[in-house]
Amino acid sequence: MIFSRIRTRKPVPDPAAAFAPGCPLGHGGPAGQTVPGQARRTPSSLFTPAFTDPDQASAFVRQFHAELPGAGNPVQREREVLDEIARTGTYRHTPEELAFGAKVAWRNSARCIGRLYWRSLVVRDLREVSSADELAEECFEHLRVATNGGRIRPVISVFAPDRPGRPAARIVSPQLVRYAGYPDGAGGWTGDPAGGQLAARAADLGWKPGEGRFDILPLLVQERAGEQPRWYELPDDSTLEVPLRHPEYPWFAELGLRWYAVPAISDQTLEIGGIRYPAAPFNGWYMGTEIGARNLADADRYDMLAEVAAWLRLDTSSDRTLWKDRALIELNRAVLHSYQEAGVTMTDHHTESERFLTHIAQEKRLGRETPADWSWIVPPVSGGLTPVYHRYYDAVDPATRPAFVAREPW
């Protein structure tokens, strides 16, 4: 999946520990010095206390103009930004800065294997939207735009940022589309256990839970700190689902499995130049292993391997028969086949691994590093058969911005 949440289980050392944090663009210098081309600041004590870090704002402005040299006068823009921060505590991105920052945040996502496409991200500038009702409607429109009749488009919808004294609305749901999970009272689950907590919270707010294995959860939006979230049913035309079939085994359809087309992450904050956008849902398209090897296979998710193995009549008496591996491959074959037959964009782990190395090579030619977390980049099926397995990656600097970061609690 682009903007992937895929993670293998192989523990690896963290290479970032060997590197001291620093500006990814090489900006900055000893204390008291002014970086060449940087506007001098008026002492902040004369103005409004900064809500937005002026250093982060300056670094972003310089990065924007360094990568887009035709964008205008960087010294003048930096001076404007710093003056606005001094007067108001923060500043406002131009539409071009917002689009650039969102795309670079994707480029900086160390856990994403699909970054070759970062320039193609469709950026929806919705900073004027702040009410829960409007935000929910725009999230549904996001899904329609991204679905695109099955030809999935990478999209981000950026809503109002946090302002001094005015935290912006948050999307409580971790993804715009998610399946509910219901404990069965005997230690098991109906549906997706990962959706259990959100289903319970939505039910407490008045949502009527279903009884199925693939009930789509409502979208939960919290407009203000201290208020209860509001829930919104997803319109039918906003959510495309794919019934799963196998290219060889007709019985596979009897399992009744399905999955949705657009993986839209909605619980992370987009940070650009010191400004935080807490509601900025974004999506790419799925890599098949995320569904076939994680969502449907993990023991704490749908846990389908034993059932698939039973239909395949595999010997499950011992792990040494590799029945789990064989069932896993057939489950992944079904996912890839079904999305292709439905005309819904999906990539496989071999193709995406090759494309990721292409991305690394392109970035290297431009003089940029490509930070990557090995444990997330290597796919959870046949990892050793992919080229991303057999190499090291640049250290991950947690201070790198723009970036998608864990949301700060209210």
Catalytic site positions: 112, 115, 285, 290
Q: Can you tell me the distance from the alpha carbon of 295 to that of 291, in angstroms, rounded to the nearest whole number?
A: 5
Q: What share of the chain is helix, strand, coil (3-state, %, to 5)?
A: 40, 15, 45
One-letter amino acid at 252 equals: F
187 burial level (CB within 10 Å; 0-12, 13-18, 19+): exposed
Which two tokens mark 326?
Answer: 């064989």
Say which DSSP state 231 is in: E
E strand residue ranges, 128-267: 155-158, 170-171, 181-183, 189-191, 219-222, 230-232, 241-243, 258-260, 264-265
Neighbours of 126 (CB within 10 A): 21
CB 245 within 8 A of CB 252: yes
Q: How far is Cα 297 from Cα 291, in angstroms, rounded to an integer?
A: 8
Coil, helix or strand for 79? Answer: helix
Distance of CA 216 to the CA centre of its chain: 19
**CA angle centred on 92, ends 91 and 93, rounded to 5°:** 125
* Inter-CA distances, 292 with 177, 323, 331, 338, 374, Å: 17, 15, 6, 11, 20
What are the backbone angles phi and psi of residue 29, rounded to the nearest 5°?
Answer: -170, -175
CA atoms within 13 A on the CB side of 14: 7
Rounded Cα distance between 101 and 273, Å, is 8
The number of CA neighbours under 13 Å toward the Cβ of 222 is 20
